[in-house]
């Protein structure tokens, strides 16, 4: 996007943070660690002005910066999580909204840890085809399916006000929704979402949240694999690009204090489609952020 590199300076309201990490244990779809590289590469296509939404230079209004990638070794979970949290905390402390680019879904946990340090009463809004609130075994506590289990157990987010939206498809064990709900979360399947409509669903969430700080976690596999083929766990029947954009735009008025867009997995991508769409969604999110912060002209 051509953002200036560096840590947020005073007045900066948003900072990109690449998280080139995946757990490295999938037998044949590893590679989300390359997500930040490819999302940035595709962001060359991003332009700054949106004639009907925001016909101004949103990136300048936000004073947005690109804080680079967290220095870490993919596959070394414990060490990486410490580094990710620290890097995100540096941004959070400045008051800028960190926008993480994954990396697999596991990176949301250290990012939420950093956000929760500052924002009390944090609520999660998780847009994903999976809840990632699965049970775990002691020797496999951290992976890309348990970050919301851990987030709830650590008290990082208030599970009773946090929602998982877009859940669909098959999964590797039974009882997943029960476990998720048992942690306190609300689950909106994609069928629920489409039946109620985006605006109505988000309005209900907004009422629940009541102005509290929100962590927005967007897993790119909420899109259909025909739209975003380069994800870790493709699930057919997902959102079109237009629906995803509409859903994101509907989040107006929320007090989003941190976010991440995860799960772009370039080795499985086709011509950079998932990475390209991810960079578009981040640009949409920046416009949303500017609007929510009251930075846009009337």
Q: Which residues bind a copy of itself (CB under 8 A)?
A: 20, 23-31, 33-34, 37, 44-52, 55-57, 73-76, 167, 169-177, 189, 191, 224-227, 229, 233-234, 236-238, 240-242, 245, 267-268, 270-271, 273, 276-277, 280, 283
Smallest distance, Å, CB 187 to a copy of itself? 8
What is the SS3 assignment for 137?
A: coil
State which residue, 100 or 166, has the beta carbon closest to a copy of itself.
Answer: 166
Q: Which is nearer to a copy of itself, 86 or 194 (CB)?
A: 194
User: Which residues are 217's β-sheet partners?
Assistant: 126, 260
The secondary element (H helix, E strand) that includes residue 285 is: helix 273-292
Helix (H) or strand (E) holding 260: strand 255-262
Structure tokens at 61: 């209004």
Joined tokens for residue 57: 């230079």
Q: Is the peptide bond before 152 cis (omega within 30 degrees of 0)?
A: no
Residue 179: CB atoms within 10 A of its CB come to 16
Closer to a copy of itself at the Cβ: 105 or 213? 105
The crossing angle, in degrees rounded to 10, of helices 77-94 and 108-118 is 40
Give the three-class secondary structure for 64: coil
Q: Nearer Cβ to a copy of itself, position 75 or 253?
A: 75
Q: Which is nearer to a copy of itself, 127 or 273 (CB)?
A: 273
Strand partners, 219: 262
Q: How many CB atoms are located within 10 Å of the residue 44 CB?
A: 10
Contact 262, 31 (CB under 8 A): no
Q: Give min distance, CB of 161 to a copy of itself, in A.
A: 22
Quick one: 86 or 270, whose CB is closer to a copy of itself? 270
The closest of 131, 130, 95, 67 to 289, measured between CA atoms, is 95
Backbone angles phi, psi at 101, to 5 degrees: -115, 115
Structure tokens at 60: 């300048």
State in angstroms the smallest separation of the CB of 120 from a copy of itself: 32
Q: How far is the CB of 46 from a copy of itself (least distance, A)?
A: 7
The distance of closest approach from Cβ of residue 204 to a copy of itself in the complex, given in angstroms and rounded to an integer, is 19
Whichever of 10 and 51 has its CB closer to a copy of itself, that residue is 51
Least CB distance to a copy of itself at residue 294 (A): 19
- Least spacing, CB of residue 232 vs a copy of itself, in Å: 10
């Amino acid at each position: 996007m051509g953002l200036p590199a560096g840590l947020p300076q005073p007045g900066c309201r948003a900072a990109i943070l690449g998280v080139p990490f995946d757990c490295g244990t999938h037998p044949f779809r590893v590679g989300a660690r390359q997500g930040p590289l490819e999302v940035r590469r595709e962001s060359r296509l991003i332009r700054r002005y949106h004639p009907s939404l925001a016909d101004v230079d949103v990136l300048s209004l936000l004073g947005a910066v690109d804080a680079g990638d967290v220095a870490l070794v993919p596959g070394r979970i414990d060490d990486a999580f410490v580094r990710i949290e620290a890097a995100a905390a540096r941004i959070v402390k400045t008051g800028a909204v960190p926008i993480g680019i994954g990396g697999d879904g596991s990176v949301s946990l250290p990012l939420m840890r950093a956000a929760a340090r500052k924002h009390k009463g944090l609520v999660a809004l998780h847009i994903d085809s999976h809840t990632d609130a699965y049970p775990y075994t002691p020797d496999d506590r951290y992976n890309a399916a348990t970050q919301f289990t851990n987030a709830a157990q650590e008290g990082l987010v208030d599970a009773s006000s946090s929602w998982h939206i877009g859940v669909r498809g098959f999964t590797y064990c039974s009882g997943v929704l029960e476990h998720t709900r048992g942690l306190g979360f609300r689950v909106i399947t994609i069928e629920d979402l489409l039946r109620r409509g985006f605006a109505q669903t988000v309005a209900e969430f907004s009422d629940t949240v009541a102005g509290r700080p929100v962590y927005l976690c967007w897993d790119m596999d909420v899109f259909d694999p025909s739209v975003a083929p380069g994800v870790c766990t493709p699930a057919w029947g997902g959102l079109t690009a237009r629906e995803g954009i509409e859903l994101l735009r509907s989040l107006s008025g929320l007090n989003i204090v941190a976010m991440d867009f995860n799960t772009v997995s370039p080795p499985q991508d086709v011509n950079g489609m998932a990475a390209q769409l991810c960079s578009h969604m981040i640009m949409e999110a920046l416009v949303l952020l500017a609007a929510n912060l009251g930075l846009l002209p009337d």
